[in-house]
Amino acid sequence: MEPLVRVEGIVAPLDRMNVDTDQIIPKQFLKRIERTGFGEFLFFDWRYLEDGSLNLDFELNQPHLAGSNILLAGHNFGSGSSREHAPWSLREYGFQAIIAPSFADIFYNNCFKNSILPIVLPEADVKKLFEKTAAKKGYRLTVDLPTQTISDDDGLSIGFDIDPFKKKTLLEGLDDIAQTLKSEGAIDRYEKIMSEKRAWAVPSQPH
């Protein structure tokens, strides 16, 4: 997993509540066994028309949002089933940070395992950011994880909270496997001790 320290880029506004994981990555694309290749299917039912062409009425298909890497969303983003394919598709599309008033718990935790920073802000702050994206095409933000701040070129500065352990995993690029491997030496010593104990516990066989 790649470390995430600072995100600078264009904000894509998705002013919708209760965006569930089946809208983020529809179920027909979950048959893939790889963890890659999901970005093109992100928000598939909204991004594309029935003939396969782009739906130009969908927010993220606006030309000035090309290359967006910060997603601005409404309440309860990532609700529904707990598929980890949802953060996979968001990350592969290019999103490194998601800002919303609230997230579904499982989705929120899955983001940290996939190098995405989910940021919970008060609704008033999210509303202000939506207004700024509407007023300025290609509106940009800087998200700085070490200082836990969001800023723009107009002097805006908003702080955000994050669990210290989750912050550390992003800064160091540690998924569950990498965290476990940091204790590889201790695990090996424990296994050796337990192996020796099991050897002593085996009763001798009668002759």
- Residue 1 included in any domain: no
Q: Within a domain: residue 130?
A: yes
CATH of the domain at 145: 3.20.19.10
What's residue 111's pLDDT? 96
Residue 158's DSSP bridge partners are: 150
pLDDT reported for residue 120: 98
Residue-level pLDDT at 165: 94
Domain for residue 32, yes or no? yes
Tell me if 183 is assigned to some domain. Answer: no
Helix 105-112 crosses helix 85-93 at what angle (to 10 degrees)?
Answer: 50
Tens digit of pLDDT for each residue in 105-123?
A: 999 999 999 999 999 999 9
Torsion angle of the four alpha carbons 101, 104, 110, 114, in this order, in degrees rounded to the nearest 10:
-40
pLDDT at res. 188: 58
Tallying the residues shown for the chain, one arrives at 207
pLDDT digits (tens, 9 = 90+) for 65-100: 999 999 999 999 999 988 899 999 999 999 999 999
User: What's the confidence (pLDDT) of residue 37?
Assistant: 86
Domain that holds residue 64: 6-174
pLDDT for the residue numbered 30: 86
pLDDT for res 129: 98
**Which of left, alpha, beta for 55 (phi over 0: left; psi -120 to 50: alpha)?**
beta
Question: pLDDT value at position 169?
Answer: 94
Predicted local confidence at residue 6, as pLDDT: 97
Residues of the chain scoring pLDDT < 70: 33, 175-196, 198-207
Predicted pLDDT of residue 167: 96
Q: Check residue 63 and give its pLDDT.
A: 95
100 found inside a domain: yes
Asked whether residue 184 is assigned to any structural domain, the reply reads no
Residue 95 neighbours by CB distance under 10 Å: 23
Q: What is the pLDDT of residue 82?
A: 81
Query: Is-contact 26 86, C-beta < 8 A?
Result: no
Write b or e for each residue in 16-26: b if 16 or more Cβ atoms lie within 10 A of its Cβ, otherwise e: eeebebbbbbb
Is there a domain that residue 33 lies in? Answer: yes
Residue-level pLDDT at 206: 58
Domain presence at residue 151: yes
Quote the number of domains for the chain. 1
What is the gyration radius of the CA atoms in the chain, in angstroms? 22
